[in-house]
């Protein structure tokens, strides 16, 4: 049996790299949420409600996943105007999500829940770090969306060249699911 045959590994290298990146992000957030659980058992843990903006931003990111899927579906059908419209909608919803996260951090700060320093508590710091790191990854998704949008305006995304938007859609859905996981985790463990 020959192990170097082309059939031995039949995944597109770009898809493989994306999934490798996704697994790396999963491991990173798994370590952060594990550290959260370990640290929360020390006894000086501050219990507080998550900002209302986090609830709203969760709805926004779910909606953005829908528009991203619609952009992908439009690409598969060569509906060039719809690709642009849904990609722009996804991009705007991603930016609104980030804005709402910042507003949420403002709510935390107004409630005297700080990221670090003399008056901070690890519970608050973890909420900031988890949401900031997710926000960072969402910014990378927004950059990818801009690349998709530029390609859409050149009409270089269509049913015959769908890999680029497929990868972006997969990554965007992952970011959506990651935020829902983090939000539910923080709701249940705060």
Quote the pTM value. 0.90
Report if residue 12 sits inside a domain.
no
Report if residue 114 sits inside a domain.
yes
Report if residue 157 sits inside a domain.
yes
Average of pLDDT values for 87-101? 98
Give the pLDDT score at 37: 93
Give the pLDDT score at 26: 97
* pLDDT-based confidence at residue 116 (cuts at 50, 70, 90): confident
Neighbours of 56 (CB within 10 A): 14
Give the pLDDT score at 9: 65
Alpha-carbon distance 93 to 88, whole Å? 8
Q: Buried b / exposed e across 3-36, counting CB within 10 Å, b at 16+? A: eeeeeeeeeeeeeeebeeeeeebeeebeebbeeb
Find out whether 152 and 164 touch, Cβ atoms under 8 Å.
no
Report if residue 61 sits inside a domain.
yes
Print the domain residue range for 171. Answer: 50-189
* pLDDT-based confidence at residue 8 (cuts at 50, 70, 90): low
Report if residue 104 sits inside a domain.
yes
pLDDT(70) > 70: yes
Average of pLDDT values for 59-85? 97
* pLDDT-based confidence at residue 121 (cuts at 50, 70, 90): confident
Give the pLDDT score at 85: 97
pLDDT digits (tens, 9 = 90+) for 133-183: 999 999 999 999 999 999 999 999 999 999 999 999 999 999 999 999 999
pLDDT(185) > 70: yes
Report if residue 156 sits inside a domain.
yes
Q: What is the CATH number of the domain that holds 185?
A: 1.20.120.80
The structural domain count of the chain equals 1
Report if residue 4 sits inside a domain.
no
pLDDT digits (tens, 9 = 90+) for 27-64: 999 999 999 999 988 878 888 999 999 999 999 999 99
Give the pLDDT score at 5: 55
Average of pLDDT values for 90-116? 94
Alpha-carbon distance 117 to 58, whole Å? 28
Report if residue 11 sits inside a domain.
no
């Amino acid at each position: 049996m020959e192990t170097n045959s082309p059939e031995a590994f039949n995944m597109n290298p770009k898809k493989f790299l994306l999934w490798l990146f996704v697994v790396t992000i999963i491991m990173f957030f798994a370590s952060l949420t594990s550290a959260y659980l370990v640290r929360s058992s020390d006894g000086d843990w501050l219990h507080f409600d998550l900002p209302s903006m986090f609830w709203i931003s969760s709805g926004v990111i779910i909606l953005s996943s829908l528009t991203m899927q619609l952009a992908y579906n439009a690409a598969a059908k060569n509906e060039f105007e719809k690709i642009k419209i849904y990609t722009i909608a996804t991009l705007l919803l991603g930016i609104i999500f980030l804005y709402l996260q910042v507003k949420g951090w403002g709510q935390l700060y107004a409630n005297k829940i700080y990221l670090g320093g003399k008056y901070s508590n690890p519970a608050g710091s973890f909420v900031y770090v988890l949401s900031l790191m997710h926000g960072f990854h969402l910014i990378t998704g927004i950059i990818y969306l801009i690349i998709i949008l530029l390609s859409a305006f050149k009409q270089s995304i269509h049913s015959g060249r769908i890999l680029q938007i497929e990868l972006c859609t997969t990554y965007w859905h992952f970011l959506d699911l990651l935020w829902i996981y983090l939000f539910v985790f923080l709701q249940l463990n705060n």
